[in-house]
Structure 1
Amino acid sequence: MHPMLNIAIRAARKAGNHIAKSLENAEKIESTQKGTNDFVTNVNKEAETLIIDTIQASYPEHCIVAEEHGAIDGKDNDVQWIIDSLDGTTNFVKGLPHFSVSIAVRFKGKTEVACVYDPMLNELFSAQRGSGAQLNNSRIRVKQLKDLQGTVIATGLPYKQKQHAESFFKIMSSLFADCADFRRMGSPALDLCYLAAGRIDGFFELGLKPWDIAAGELIAREAGVIVTDFSGGTDYMKSGNVVASSARGVKGILKHIRENGNEAILK
C-alpha cells in the first residue's frame, strides 16, 4: 500500500470513529449555519482536527485543504491533501446514518491516493492511481450500461444554488423518462463510491466543492467510471458540476443535460 494511503486510512478511521461515537451523546452536538442551507457542527471541526494532526505527524511539510480549516500551507507545494471530515453533515445533524469521511492526496495536480470511510457501516472505499479501487480490500468495478433503461441515478438537489432549480428539475424530468428511479442520499463522496461498487448506475450534481469530489472521483475512475463536467469535459474540480457513470451512461445523462440545462450550469 502507498504510505500516504496508509496515513489517509488511519486518519479517516480516527475521524469516523469520533463521529460515530459523538452520536451516542447527541445533545452535545452543536450546529451552526455557515451559509445558505449550509451547516457545520463542532463534530465536523473536531474530526477535521484529528485528520490534520494525523497527517502532520507523518507529513508536516505537505499542504492541506480542509473544508473547515481552509488552506494550510506547507513547505512542499507539490503535495496537497484534500479533506472533508464529514460529508453529509445535514444527515448527521438529523440523525440519518449516511455520511462519510473523505480524504484525497494530490501530487502536482493529479490525485494519487484516496479513501472514503463510512463509519456507520464500517465500509472503507480506497484507490491508488493505476491500481484499481477497493471496498474493504475487495476489488470493485462499475456496471457497464447499454443505455439508461432500468437505471438508478443518484443526484443532489442544488439547495445552495436555488437559482438553478428550474433548469435542474427540467433535467431530472427529462432523465426520468429514460431511467427507472433516482436516489438523493446526501453524501456526494459516497454516491461516487456506490457508483464504483455497482450499487447505483450513474451520478450527477452541480455546485460541488473540491473536497466533495476529490477522493470519490479517483475511487470511481479506478473502478472504470467515466467522470466529466456538464459539457463533457474534465473541468469538474473547478466548476463543481459532475456527471459520472459507465461510458454509455455518461453519454445518456449528458444528452439530457445539454438539451435541458441553461447556459449558467452548462459553463
Structure 2
Amino acid sequence: MSTNPQPKHLQGAPSAGKPETGAPQVRRELLAVAREAAAAGAAVLAERGRGRVAADTKSAAGDWVTDFDRRAEMAVRDVIAAARPHDAITGEEYGHTDPAEPSGYRWSIDPLDGTANFVRGIVYYCTSVAVFGPVDGPAVPAAGAHPAKMKTAPAQGAVAPEDGNSLAADGAAMDTGTHGWLAGAINAPALGTEYYAAAGDGAWLIDSTQVAGSGSRRGGSATRAQRLHGGDQNEAGKLLATGFGYDADRRQFQVGALLGLMPGFANVRRIGSAALDLCLVADGTLDAYAEYGTQEFDWAAGALIAAEAGLPVLRPRTNPGWQAAGYLDFDALPAEQATH
C-alpha cells in the first residue's frame, strides 16, 4: 500500500481526518479578517471609472501595475495589520513584511489579480487574500496586545514565500498536517461576487447580482451565501481554463502543454485571473484549470476555495510550477524543459 496517497499535493481541508480542537474557531476568525481585507481592496478597485486606466510596465509588455494595485494592497495590509499585528504579510506590490514578534501566520495577498483586464475594462479582476499557518496552533495575541512594530522590505529583493525552498517546505508541512492554508477570500467588485473558505468549513459564494430566490448555475444571492460543490465530473462539453506568461519561451511551453491536456475537454477558456479561474471551477462554471508559472499570491485563496468545494487541487512546490484544480490528470502535466 502506498504511504503517500497524495503525491502531488492533492489537499482538501488541512484538518481532514483530525479531531476538532479550538482551531476551527481560530480559522473562522482568520476568515473574518480575510473577508474584510479583500473587501477593502475591492472597494479601491470599485473606484475605477469608464475608459482605460493608466498603467506602468513591470517585467514585460502586458505585465502592468496601476495606482489601484498599490492603493488596494495598502488597504488590505491596513486591515490585516490592525486585526493581526503579529502576522507576516506577503503582497505582490510591496513584498514581505515581518512583525517584531511573529505569530507563525503569514498572509498572501494579490490586491488586483487580473490587472490587464482591469486596465482594459474587462470585468474579470479581483482582490485575493489568504492566510497560511499552524493547523492546530494557539490563538495569537489580539490587536492591541503587545503591539508589534512592522518592518516592510522593499519589493525588490524581498524574500517572498515563492523564493528559495519555502514552497517545498510549506508543502512538506501540509503533508504532515502541521500547517496549511487556513482561510481565504476573493472579492470581484465588477462581478458583484465574493468567494470565501475556511479550512474544514466548505467554500461559499455571495453573488450580489442574483435576486434572492432566483436561480442560477452558481446560486447564491446578495443576502444568502451559497455553498459550492464544483461541477459535474461527468458533464459533456467540459471547459478547461488556463493562462499564459509574458515570456515568449514560457508561452510556447504553455501552449504545447495545453494541447496535451485538451483530450477530454470540449474547449478552453482564458479568463485572465488565476484567482477567479479557481473560483469558477469551485462554483462549477468551469470544469478544470491548469496553469504553469503562477505566483503564490495568485493561487493562495483560490486553491483553498476550490479544495473546500471538494475538488482535487495541485499547488506548486517549485517556482515555476503547476497550479491546477478540477478533474484532470495532474500526473500528465509536463515539466518545463530548460532552455539553452
TM-score range, shorter chain: 0.7 to 0.9
Instruction: Give the TM-score of the pair, scaled to structure 2.
Output: 0.68
8 A Cα contact 1:210 1:238, kept in partner: no
Unaligned runs of 5+ in 2: 1-24, 135-178, 207-224
Aligned sequence identity (%): 31
Question: In the TM superposition, what is the alpha-carbon distance from 1:146 to its structure 2 partner?
Answer: 4.1
More strand by share: 1
What is the SS of the residue equivalent to 1:263?
A: coil
Q: Which runs of structure 1 show a deviation greater than 6 angstroms over 4 or more consecutive aligned residues?
A: none
Q: Distance in 1 between matches of 2:292 and 2:257?
A: 12
Matched, 1:151 2:238: yes
1:138 matched to which residue of 2? 226
2:32 matched to which residue of 1? 6
8 A Cα contact 1:115 1:126, kept in partner: yes
Q: Distance in 2 between matches of 1:45 and 1:114?
A: 20
Q: Distance in 2 between matches of 1:190 and 1:207?
A: 16
Q: Distance in 2 between matches of 1:179 and 1:263?
A: 25
Q: 2:280 aligns with which of 194, 197, 208?
A: 194
Question: In the TM superposition, what is the alpha-carbon distance from 1:9 to its structure 2 partner?
Answer: 1.1
- Deviations 1:80-132 (CA, angstroms, capped at 9, x unpaired): 11100000000001111110100001114411000011111221100000111
More helix by share: 1
Q: Which moved more, 1:35-44 or 1:205-214?
A: 35-44
2:94 matched to which residue of 1? 69
8 A Cα contact 1:63 1:72, kept in partner: yes
8 A Cα contact 1:210 1:240, kept in partner: no
Q: Distance in 2 between matches of 1:175 and 1:5?
A: 34
Matched, 1:33 2:119: no
Q: Please tell me the residue identity of whatever aligns with 1:202.
A: A
1:45 matched to which residue of 2? 70
1:169 matched to which residue of 2? 255
- For these two proteins, the number of residue pairs brought into alignment is 249
1:183/1:254 CA distance change after superposition, 3 Å: farther
1:244 matched to which residue of 2? 325
1:226 matched to which residue of 2? 312
Q: Distance in 2 between matches of 1:78 and 1:94?
A: 39
1:88 matched to which residue of 2? 114
Q: Please tell me the residue identity of whatever aligns with 1:181.
A: N
Tell which structure's C-alpha radius of gyration is larger: 2
What is the SS of the residue equivalent to 1:4?
A: helix
Which structure exhibits the higher relative contact order, with contacts defined as CA atoms closer than 8 Å and separated by 6 or more residues?
2
